[in-house]
């Protein structure tokens, strides 16, 4: 992706990487697991992947580290989800447009409609974490192919 980026876009590529999980990431994943707020898939993911930064794909896509997820949870609490707003979701990522990705306890991934997490309006973007990651991969593939990313 970065080989053709500057030629195609007219400026050098920023950070576009997937960082391998370290011991701190894995410890934070275990804390999430003990809190019973994170689906098993997320805990497993964080044992292998520390974070993802794709600054140049579309507006940018970011999957936050498990430590950052815990910081957000401690500072702002869980995101209220569900019809009765009685489920607590975790902010696991964002895009460069200020929207957040929220993972529900049952595994579905939602995207906020605005940058605010206060009484957020949410759209379901994936049935589970695997589906969300596949959509991100498709977005990257499309970007590499034609310079335009999909909308995740």
Average pLDDT over residues 38-56: 95
Residue ranges covered by each domain of the chain: 2-139
pLDDT tens-digit series, residues 60-105: 999 999 999 999 999 999 998 866 566 789 999 999 899 999 999 9
The predicted structure's pLDDT at residue 1: 65
Could you say which architecture CATH assigns to the domain 2-139?
3-Layer(aba) Sandwich (3.40)
43 contacts 12 by C-beta, under 8 angstroms: no
What is the pTM assigned to this prediction?
A: 0.91
Distance CA 4, CA 46 (A): 30
Closest C-alpha to 49, from 143, 134, 133: 133
The predicted structure's pLDDT at residue 43: 96
DSSP 8-state secondary structure symbol assigned to residue 4 = H
Here the tokens at position 86 are: 């009685």
């Amino acid at each position: 992706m970065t080989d053709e980026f500057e030629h195609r876009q007219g400026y050098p590529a920023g950070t576009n990487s997937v960082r391998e999980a370290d011991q701190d990431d894995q410890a934070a994943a275990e804390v999430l697991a003990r809190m019973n707020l994170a689906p098993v898939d997320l805990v497993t993911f964080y044992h292998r992947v520390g974070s993802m930064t794709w600054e140049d794909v579309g507006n940018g896509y970011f999957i936050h580290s498990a430590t950052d997820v815990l910081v957000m949870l401690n500072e702002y609490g869980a995101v209220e989800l569900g019809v009765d707003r009685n489920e607590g979701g975790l902010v696991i990522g964002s895009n460069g447009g200020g929207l957040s990705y929220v993972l529900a306890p049952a595994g579905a991934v939602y995207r906020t409609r605005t940058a605010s997490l206060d009484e957020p309006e949410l759209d379901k973007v994936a049935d589970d974490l695997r589906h969300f990651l596949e959509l991100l991969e498709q977005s990257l593939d499309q970007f590499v192919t034609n310079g335009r990313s999909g909308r995740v």
